[in-house]
Structures are given as structure tokens and as C-alpha cells.
Amino acid sequence: MKLKDVCKILEAESAWEADWTPSATREVTSCQASDLISDILSFRGPDSLLLTGLTNVQVIRVAELLDFVAICFVRGKRPEPEAVKLAEDKDIPLFATPLLMYEACGRLYAARLPAGTKKEASPIA
């Protein structure tokens, strides 16, 4: 599923004034949702979308470390300025959806976007 399709399903828009059009065709293969940093850090698999209600700079950090494709903030929350700065620096698109976490997850799941795996697949030797 392309990032632009995800945004359409979630009725999401850019979480700040930046134009993420170039990233619209990025492929999203799974989704993870949590408001706990340590939970997010137990997720595996690149090309995931992160759904969260956390808007601080550390959410961007973990998205960077885990190679998330993009972050979508639920409930219309907007990221803190420090978070925006880091996201811009690390080229992580930020979106905001007016939906609550439950409905955001439900819509994506219904659109057959799977949950990310908990463990990484064995690397190809």
C-alpha cells in the first residue's frame, strides 16, 4: 500500500506545513500502533507506519532507529517543534489524522494492512 493510500484511508494530512508529496509513493507494508516508546521499540520490520499519540522528539528518534516509513499522529495531535526539526532532518514524513487510535487502526486493518512482525526475519546469508 502506498503512503498516499494510507493517508486517504485515515483522512490524514501533513502534520505541519511541510510538503510530503515526494514521499507519497513510498510503500507501506505494515503498521504499528502504540503510545509507549518501549512497545514501539519491540516492533520489527522496516517499511512500517507508526500510529501514535506521542508527539515528542523521542518518537521521531525511535522511528529513525527502526526505519519507519512515516508517522501518523492520531486524534489531530500536532508534533512538538523539536520533533518536527528532527523529522525533517531524518526525512520522516509526519501526518495527522482526526481519527482516534482505535478507528485509525481499524480502518487500516480492514484495508488489509497487516501488523508488523515482532521479530525480524533471518537475514539473507
CB of 48 to other proteins, least distance (A): 12
CB of 57 to other proteins, least distance (A): 6
With contacts defined by CB under 8 A, name the span among 17-25, 91-99, 100-108, 114-122 that binds other proteins. Answer: 114-122
Element (H, E) at 90: helix 81-90
Contact flag: residue 41 with other proteins (CB under 8 A): yes
CA 67 to chain centre: 10
Contact flag: residue 65 with other proteins (CB under 8 A): yes
**Which SS3 state, helix, strand or coil, does residue 52 take?**
strand
Q: What is the CA radius of gyration of the chain?
A: 13
Report the C-alpha gap between 113 and 93 in whole angstroms.
Answer: 19
Classify strands 13-14 and 94-96 as parallel, antiparallel or unpaired.
Answer: antiparallel
Report the C-alpha gap between 38 and 62 in whole angstroms.
Answer: 9
CB of 60 to other proteins, least distance (A): 9
Among 54, 70, 105, 108, binds other proteins (CB under 8 A): 54
Q: Give the residue among 7, 10, 2, 16 at the shortest CA–CA distance from 106.
A: 10
Contact flag: residue 35 with other proteins (CB under 8 A): yes
Among 26, 44, 77, 107, binds other proteins (CB under 8 A): 44
CB of 25 to other proteins, least distance (A): 13
Binding region for other proteins (CB under 8 A)? 35-39, 41-42, 44, 46, 52, 54, 56-59, 61-62, 64-67, 82, 119-120, 122-123
